[in-house]
Amino acid sequence: MAGRKIHSFYKGIFSGDVLNFSKRSPFVREIMLERINPTRVILPMKMHYGVPCVPTVKEGDFVKAGQCVGLPDPKSFSCPVHTGVSGRVTAIKEITLPNGIKTPAVFIDNDMKKTRLESLKSRGNIELSDQQTIGVIRDAGICGMGGEGIPTYAKLNRARNYAVTDFLVNCLQSEPFSTCDLTAIVEYPDYVVSGACACARACGAKNVKFLISEGRKTERSALENSIKNASDIFKDLDLRIELFRERFPQGYYRLVAKALYGKELEASDTLEQSCSAVLFNCSTMLACWEALSDNIPMMNRILSVSGNESGGHNMLVPIGTPVSEVLSSSYDANKSESSVIWGNCLTGIKIDDPEETPIIKMTSVISIVRNNEIPTTPCIHCGLCSECCPMGLSPNIVYEMLVQGLTQKAAEEGARDCISCGSCSYICPAGIDLATSIAGFANQGKIIEVNSLLHNGEFIQSDEASLEASKVGQASLLEEFPDKEASEDKKDPDSIVLPFDGGKTV
């Protein structure tokens, strides 16, 4: 690989410092994938950007793993919800997620029998048009697993509408102590690569680029092998790996645009319009291939659990698993001197009740961090926060303006560009929590932005067509998707052939 270009953006927190956990933590070197079968699941009807689902089950119903338990209005911007366990619905009631979202949730007691829907099986070789591919992904309830939570079918539709040329797969997991995406690559590289190829075809992109840190040698070699195999099958696509310098936060679309295309994107710019590219998380690609090849909806995810009191490892958990069930049995929330964080230790949210807080589709890590009382002093004007802010802000100045209520001035200083990475708070020697204030202000603006996306129809222009791909309103959406044999006589002349190996059991 000598002489190969290494992409990078300016600033951020650099590799080699304390956050470069992969060189310090033994668990990352021997990535383990434990499978959890929780005693119950709590399935919120809203785990994604978009409108909440409506429960399709009622208290007392028996459900099988893979069954749809929440459906949105078919024309809305949303994702259906499926259960990853079989058992009895014990309650449907409103809960409040740690991020403040109030949502109805379906509570299911696991009967531990792992009874699955009969339809959850490998499809073998099937033919899907691009709209059918997007339709399966929509029905499988897949949304961005890297934390953005945008319904994947909607992003694919938008990429298709913009006729993007580059399909970017984010394999750049750089959040501290989070290795679930890297585990997905090592454990299921063929699924990640095939999912990316199928999705790229569905949105018409010809170049598939896997973005990965130069230091991730094991993951790179797994990807390289799978790309070699996939290149013989997806001959119409150009598959390649793009190396990035390891630093945090990597993978945010505006930083990727800067590093890969040398373009500075404004908050209102999109990758699709500015760079003719679309960016997806690698775990999302794994979920897409599970849906396309094995008919498995989004009912499980890989989760990193890290912290002194709970060890550090990766687990395959049903969505909705209470956080308490992924913590070590020796962990006692009442006696512990540590806090449980829903997310990574820089940007996550502290949770008070691990028993009633579920792992949702976007939860990639549960961190257990020691309660250290850091003494706070006034700003010493060291400038470190400005040096590390990847968005080029002067966090100390913006923070001061927000404290004084000068929100208009803070906005003019670029506060709305904050991506909530937490680097400024982490680096500040005065112990000032700059990120919470700045990110809180920036996120108010983002809620407005997302709402406008929901209403301008940009994401759902092609939805009418994809709705034809499957029937909506059944107990399981995927159940109704026709097998190859059943659909042979009504072949779409524009359909593409997706070669499925299948056979993976999750």
Q: In the complex, which residues of this chain contact ligand SF4 (CB under 6 A)?
A: 379-385, 388-391, 393, 395-396, 418-424, 427-430, 432, 434-435, 438-439
Quote the CA–CA distance of 24 and 65 in Å, as a whole number: 38
Quote the CA–CA distance of 1 and 241 in Å, as a whole number: 11
**Closer residue to ligand SF4 (CB): 328 or 407:** 407
**Closer residue to ligand SF4 (CB): 286 or 427:** 427
Cross-strand partners of 305: 313, 366
Quote the CA–CA distance of 474 and 472 in Å, as a whole number: 6
**Closer residue to ligand SF4 (CB): 192 or 435:** 435
**Closer residue to ligand SF4 (CB): 12 or 70:** 12
Q: Taking the complex as a whole, how short is the minimal distance between the CB of residue 327 and ligand SF4, in angstroms?
A: 27
**Closer residue to ligand SF4 (CB): 32 or 374:** 374
Distances in Å between the alpha carbon of 201 and those of 142, 160, 170, 267, 496? 17, 10, 17, 28, 9
Q: Which residue in 258, 277, 181, 246 sits closest to 417, CA to CA? A: 258
**Closer residue to ligand SF4 (CB): 392 or 473:** 392
Phi/psi zone of residue 410: left (φ > 0), alpha (ψ -120 to 50 degrees), beta? alpha
Asked, as a colleague might, if the bond just before 249 is cis with ω within 30 of 0, I would say yes
Q: Taking the complex as a whole, how short is the minimal distance between the CB of residue 361 and ligand SF4, in angstroms?
A: 24
Q: Taking the complex as a whole, how short is the minimal distance between the CB of residue 385 and ligand SF4, in angstroms?
A: 3
**Closer residue to ligand SF4 (CB): 223 or 418:** 418
Residue 24: Cβ-neighbour burial (10 angstroms; 0-12, 13-18, 19+): exposed
Distances in Å between the alpha carbon of 44 and those of 322, 366, 385? 11, 18, 37
Q: Taking the complex as a whole, how short is the minimal distance between the CB of residue 410 and ligand SF4, in angstroms?
A: 11
Q: Taking the complex as a whole, how short is the minimal distance between the CB of residue 426 and ligand SF4, in angstroms?
A: 8
Q: Taking the complex as a whole, how short is the minimal distance between the CB of residue 504 and ligand SF4, in angstroms?
A: 38
CB contact at 8 A, 363 and 330: no
Q: Taking the complex as a whole, how short is the minimal distance between the CB of residue 463 and ligand SF4, in angstroms?
A: 33
